[in-house]
Amino acid sequence: MHPSIRVIQIGAVTEITIDKPKANAIDTPMSQALYETMIEFERNDQARVAIITGAGQKFFSAGWDLSANEDPRDKYSPGGFAGLTELFDLSKPVLCAVNGMAVGGGFELALSCDLIVAADHATFFLPEANIGLVPDSGGVLRLPKALPKAIAMEMLLTGKRLSAQEGRHFGLVNQVVPAGELMTAARALAEKIISAAPLSVQAIKEIVRETAHLKVQQGFELLYSNDLPHYRRFSTSQDILEGMHAFNEKRAPVWKGK
């Protein structure tokens, strides 16, 4: 494991902390380490949800480490920048706990997560155009889908900063909390996901991902095609019956993930 990446397992939650003073900037070795961490998370049957955060309270991540003297056109890892921005087939949900500024690739890392909890002083921005770059680790692709086009374009073209509260207003951020409550809030949200059926969670994530570009009718056609492995596994699982039995018996379900 890379010395700037800390990973701990708390029950079914994998907590990943980027810890590289002063700005938690990410270079290629860190991207590779984060990719390997996400693959281990995916393969760990005991892990249900991951939380990615940064150390300290000033920066979540400043993104690409400009001091590393690396060519930004190089491939960072099989999962893209920070190991996650191009890891499209990850079946388990990832939460981002944004503890400070999410800048450039740091913002792109947050955008690649499924849910975002932000400290109330956090900010999000993409300064690439101002330094002769393009936010092509997902920012230019994901941001216009996550925000109203005019807001996204202003951020992309001018480097405009978005506050945590504005992110919540526009639906980019799920929760905004005081800095001292950030990880508590992220863990509470993770526990809500863990209480749901694991195969249902994986199927939902798969369906959302694979139908994002489709019309509703085409989405139904894909569901019926038998081409979605997680949805197929869910639809023949014992957990469907367990969920119904638990509801009728007024008890908490016992999910087996099969």
Catalytic residue list: 108, 128
What are the distances in angstroms from CA 174 to CA 53, 90, 96, 165?
15, 20, 10, 10
Name the CA dihedral angle for 118, 122, 126, 130, rounded to a multiple of 10 degrees.
180
CA distance 214 to 132: 34
Do residues 91 and 205 touch, judged by C-beta distance below 8 A? yes
DSSP for 133-152, written as a single string = ---TTTHHHHHHHHS-HHHH
104 bridge partner residues? none
Cα 58 from chain centre: 20
| DSSP conformational letter for 66 | G
CA distance 139 to 157: 12
